[in-house]
Structure 1
Amino acid sequence: MSDATGAGPDSLDRIAADLLALKEANPISYAEIGRRIGEQRVARGVPAAAAYPARSTVYDVFRAGRTRIDPDLLRDIVTALGGDEAEVERWAQRARQLRRPTEPTARQRVAPTARPVALPAPADIDRFPGAQQPRWWSPYVLLLGCIVLNLLGIMVVQALHLPIYLDMAGTATASIILGPWHGAVVATAGNLLGFAVGAPGAAPYALVNLAGALVWGYGVRRWRMGDGIGRFFALNLLAATACSLVGAPLGVFLFGGLSGHGSDTVTESIVTMGLPLIAAAFSSNILTSVIDKVLTGFMALMAFVWLHRAAGFPASHMPLVERLSASPEHPHPSARL
């Protein structure tokens, strides 16, 4: 960890430059810094609704041309970058020494009278967990929409006799946006309501849908597989594998390998190659599941990008969405990492 003092006379611009150098030595995105700050504050007893800073607030501290720096926020940022207590205090002391005598402290400041003229912040300012959402926003609205999306997928596959499934687009969307257990609710409800769209045999396959929900949800949160396009593609392959490991035995046990689904044509084609029906059912399930889950995953990704850009849905757990949401004129700062 580098020293916080820097060479030459101190200034707010020098603090910003030194802080940027510290960040480059500990390369994490601005979104991750904000998330860590929020967790620090929650641990100190700050309510979650007020704990997570806006991305622009974090980004501005690293920018030259500022007229003030909040020492408390600076402390939180250096801590998020891995600074120990002594180093954190040195950074805060630098900011306190440069504060104008008439400038109010963070506790005294009620509302800024004017924002200083500065370089533009990123266009896609992130809304961290706990930030205010649009008035129409509710997790229940998204959950309901995702259940309907699953049912629409079942209807399309039945009408066109497609060899894929398309019954998990809503599950994937809910899982990567809200979390794995929200996705599990969509997975279960969608399959149990399959009878409403003429697919009563969909109910047992709720277990397959549930497996996909958990893989997608935990994949982007615990395993950081939403950090880049390659990792997200691998996540979809992992979801396909998990779904096949659950779905293939179900299909063999319940329907003897042929379920009346469009994928039966693939199974029958493999049988003509000389494989037993059960082996052909397993092979067919894996093949169609890979195609289906990759398509489903990227449909969910595009839905998340649209919702993040249009309504500010929080995406700090999935940097790929943040980068795809940034406009060409204002690329996301983390795209440089």
Structure 2
Amino acid sequence: MTEDIKIEFSSPFEQSVDAFSHNDVKGDIRLEKRKMLPNLIIRSLIIAICIGLFGYASYMIGTNIVESNAAGEMYESIRVENALSEIKYSPSLLEPNPMLTFKEMLNSNGDYKNYIGGFDSMSDLESRRNRYRNFKNMAAQYEDTYAWIYVDYTKINYPVMKGPYTNYYLYTNYKGEYSKEGSIFVDSGLSDVYSENRNGVFYGHCMKNGLMFRTLKTFMESANKNTLAKTMNIEIYTEEGLYIYSVLSGYRSDYHSFAKISFGSDEKYLEWLDSIVANNTLSVRPSYNAQSKVCTLITCSNNTSNESERYVVHGILKSFVPASQLG
């Protein structure tokens, strides 16, 4: 009887694995681990830093939102017209105009009617009385209150402060607290008797959250700015009463002569008036002379390539309502 012979075949790789032993391992494994440790630490630190930066950014975004909402609510709370008893009127609607072509819109230079026939400008007497009450309430509580400002077709409806120097209220709210929104404020060189000023200069931040003078920029960049400028009123409420201005000029500039408040003579003042009218980019052309009184509203253009550039709107006084008719 023949015995079966079993022959096993193995590949060279299998043979090398079978023959492999710990003596064939070159180098110190513990040393290799020690070499890897710094890389692991660096990677862990980078991950931790990224997580920390993400958390910080999220916190800052949340904080900014909360602070912006708080600032908006603070100003809402001091406006008499926000009382529940006040009647709100919806804007009247016009029949839509035929849709303009893109070329027609460009050629119009922004001088065409909107689909909405008007805004709730609250220019009626009762609303003006409410804003005068706003001023009086603020002046009774905060001694630096200088005026109250309201501008048609914008969200500008704020107390105006005057500090010991012009930039005092740049990052300070009317309560005297730090605020990135700051306050609407005037040049500290203005007379406390508002009627004595030839040029009342008002400053406000151009906040991305829409507060302060942001909507001045929105107005100046709007497609229908020329139409709005023709009927826009700028209202300044003071102890003496209400000063109502129409738009005289509007433009962007980094040459800050627009903030001038002292002129020396009628001739110098008229020269200055000529210069701001020459800068005008709006289709309004009211008449003026050396006896005209104006106001100037100034905010940043947020032009990152020219941080000194400002949006400027000048108003020319057209009427005055004494305090006796507003109280």
Q: TM-score, with normalisation over the residues of structure 1?
A: 0.22
Question: Which has the larger helix fraction?
Answer: 1
Q: TM-score, with normalisation over the residues of structure 2?
A: 0.23
Query: With CA pairs under 8 Å and 6+ residues apart, which has the higher RCO, 1 or 2?
Result: 1
- Larger Cα-atom Rg: 2
